[in-house]
Amino acid sequence: MLAWSVRVAQASGQFVETMVSTEDLKIAEIAQACGAKVPFLCSAKNGDHYATTVHVLYAVLAQYSKVGRYFNLAFCLYPTAALVRPKDLSNGRAALEAGDFDAFMPVAEFDNVIWRSLRRNKDGRISMNFS
């Protein structure tokens, strides 16, 4: 599944660099074999099941800034994004840049506890139903 996400990101033509954040050496090897960069391993804290996406993104961008790399936009594509297509990433980036948004993310119907559900407002913004 990781290979799919890396290949979709690369095929979209939207990214200067496709990198994978992981603390696991085997995952790092797989990512590199697919053409992604793994310039550093993340901390064990950011690799556990309690780390939030926001914390991981901040840590990745902080690591890049230590070597003088800065980005105007950062995307997080999960390795489980089996249905995402290159066009989805292109459209998402266009919407992000054209609108007054800080982030975009795919949302789909799912059978899970309602406590993790989202709602979309009339202006296209999403928020948690319960927070």
Beta bridge partners of 37: 19
Beta bridge partners of 128: 118
Domain boundary assignment for the chain: 2-128
Q: Which of 80, 44, 73 is nearest to 57 (CA)?
A: 73
110-128 confidence digits (pLDDT tens): 777 778 788 888 887 888 8
Whole-angstrom distance, CA of residue 70 vs CA of residue 78: 21
pLDDT of residue 65: 96
33-63 confidence digits (pLDDT tens): 999 999 999 998 888 888 888 899 999 999 9
Q: What is the DSSP letter of 43?
A: P
Q: Environment class of residue 130 by beta-carbon count within 10 Å: exposed (0-12), middle (13-18) or buried (19+)? A: exposed
pLDDT of residue 123: 82
Cα R_g (the chain), whole angstroms: 16
Residue 107 pLDDT > 80: no
47-106 confidence digits (pLDDT tens): 888 888 889 999 999 999 999 999 988 888 988 888 899 999 998 899 888 888 777 776
pLDDT bucket at 129, cuts 50 / 70 / 90: confident
Assigned superfamily of 2-128: Spore Coat Polysaccharide Biosynthesis Protein SpsA; Chain A (3.90.550.10)
